[in-house]
Amino acid sequence: MSSSNLQNLLDKRLVVLVIGGGGREHALCYALQRSPSCDGVFCAPGNAGISNSGNAICIPELDISDSSAVISFCHKWGVGLVVVGPEAPLVSGLANDLVKAGIPTFGPSAEAAALEGSKNFMKSLCDKYKIPTAKYRTFTDPSSAKQYIQDQGAPIVIKADGLAAGKGVTVAMTLEEAYEAVDSMLLKSVFGSAGCRVIVEEFLEGEEVSFFALVDGENAIPLESAQDHKRVGDGDTGPNTGGMGAYSPAPVLTKELQAVVMQTIILPTVKGMEAEGCKFVGVLYAGLMIEKKTGLPKLIEYNVRFGDPECQVLMVRMESDLAQVLLAASRGELSGVSLKWSPGSAMVVVMASKGVPWVLRKGD
């Protein structure tokens, strides 16, 4: 590296604050700490694993739901980039407040986070911009929902409209199971306000795959492929939960298929969000079904942040300077950026405490 390039890099050295405290955030801290341009990593609240690994300095006392406290912390410690890990602070507008305060932030505004915060919003966007997705209807009335389910037949998919921490989806193999899911959401309020509207969706047969792209509002670049396991039990059994392990690369996602996903799903979404007046900045995580019948991808759902197990396998394989890449995205400068990955494979295995996904036993 020439001395002028080295000087440029040193001039750009960044202090980064990662928001969140799970495995995803640990993976981000790990990759950021390895970034040549990164001068230091804070994580709020962080966790014991992050703290013990030395991948970041954890700030458990910083209240991440209090935007002004986060902004003060950034000013005090010269934070040049905030990376928001979980969906809840995004939906409640943390990124809006940070950007308003002039702090570069990787993560979408509350308006753009509605892509994950409301499945109905996402489905309407798909309709408007011709993005391939499963046939669906939205309901607030249980009897209308059940009538539609009866007309469509099983298997069928029932989803809570709002954020349910990855737990608000029932893949019902029988009509009874579907009716029960509707009742638990609309009558018993199992997911609180997140389930006051339900989406009833056609069951797509095929292979499910996770697709990630970094987005700067106008441009998008794909990340390496990854695939996670949803069901909680060994041998892919039990209820769906928020990810029980992952591997990368995912052989099902060929280079040809990646190009199709970018052209038919990711780029139309980025352009559609811009046209709707809520530019998307951050990571778009598309849950896709590669349909058995056609071999083509359909969008199941969007998340507006990294998936937890997938982020872990991706960050281990990332060889680019992650701090500079995420900073470029936050500034609308992704055009021309390319990413470097290690050629090997990565895998994460999850050991879950008893009761997941329904009753979380903490501290086991």
Per 3-state DSSP, what percentage of the chain is helix, strand, and coil (rounded to 5)? 35, 25, 40
The arrangement of secondary structure in 135-202, i.e. its CATH architecture, is 2-Layer Sandwich (3.30)
pLDDT score, position 1: 41
Q: What pLDDT digit, counting tens, does each position of 48-74 carry?
A: 999 999 999 999 999 999 999 999 999
Q: What angle separates helix 267-275 from helix 119-128, to the nearest 10 degrees? A: 100
Q: Pull the structure tokens for residue 147.
A: 């009538």
Helix (H) or strand (E) holding 275: helix 267-275
Q: pLDDT-based confidence at 193, cuts 50/70/90? A: confident
Q: What string of DSSP letters covers 248-271?
A: ES-TTS-HHHHHHHIIIIIHHHHH
Q: pLDDT-based confidence at 231, cuts 50/70/90? A: confident
- In this structure, the dihedral spanned by the alpha carbons of residues 314, 352, 288 and 238, taken in order and rounded to 10 degrees, is 160
Question: Which neighbouring-strand residues pair with 227?
Answer: 247
Q: pLDDT-based confidence at 7, cuts 50/70/90? A: very low
Q: pLDDT-based confidence at 355, cuts 50/70/90? A: confident
Q: What string of DSSP letters covers 29-86?
A: HHHHHT-TTEEEEEEEE--HHHHHHTSSEE-TTS-TT-HHHHHHHHHHHT--EEEE-S
pLDDT score, position 238: 83
Predicted confidence (pLDDT) at residue 340 exceeds the cutoff of 80: yes
Q: Pull the structure tokens for residue 296.
A: 């083509």
Q: Pull the structure tokens for residue 171.
A: 């893949």
pTM for this model (two decimals) = 0.86
Predicted confidence (pLDDT) at residue 209 exceeds the cutoff of 90: no
The CATH fold of domain 205-349: D-amino Acid Aminotransferase; Chain A, domain 1 (3.30.470)
3-106 belongs to CATH 1.10.10.10 = no
Residue, of 34 and 207, whose pLDDT is higher: 34
Cα 219–Cα 208–Cα 237 angle in degrees, nearest 5: 145
Residue-range domain boundaries for the chain:
3-106, 135-202, 205-349
Share of the chain above pLDDT 90, in %: 72
Amino acid at 195: G
Question: Are residues 64 and 44 in contact, defined by beta-carbon separation less than 8 angstroms?
Answer: yes
Q: Return the residue matching tokens 């501290």.
A: 363
Domains 135-202 and 205-349 share a fold: no
Question: Which neighbouring-strand residues pair with 273?
Answer: none
Distance CA 159, CA 223 (A): 27
pLDDT score, position 131: 97
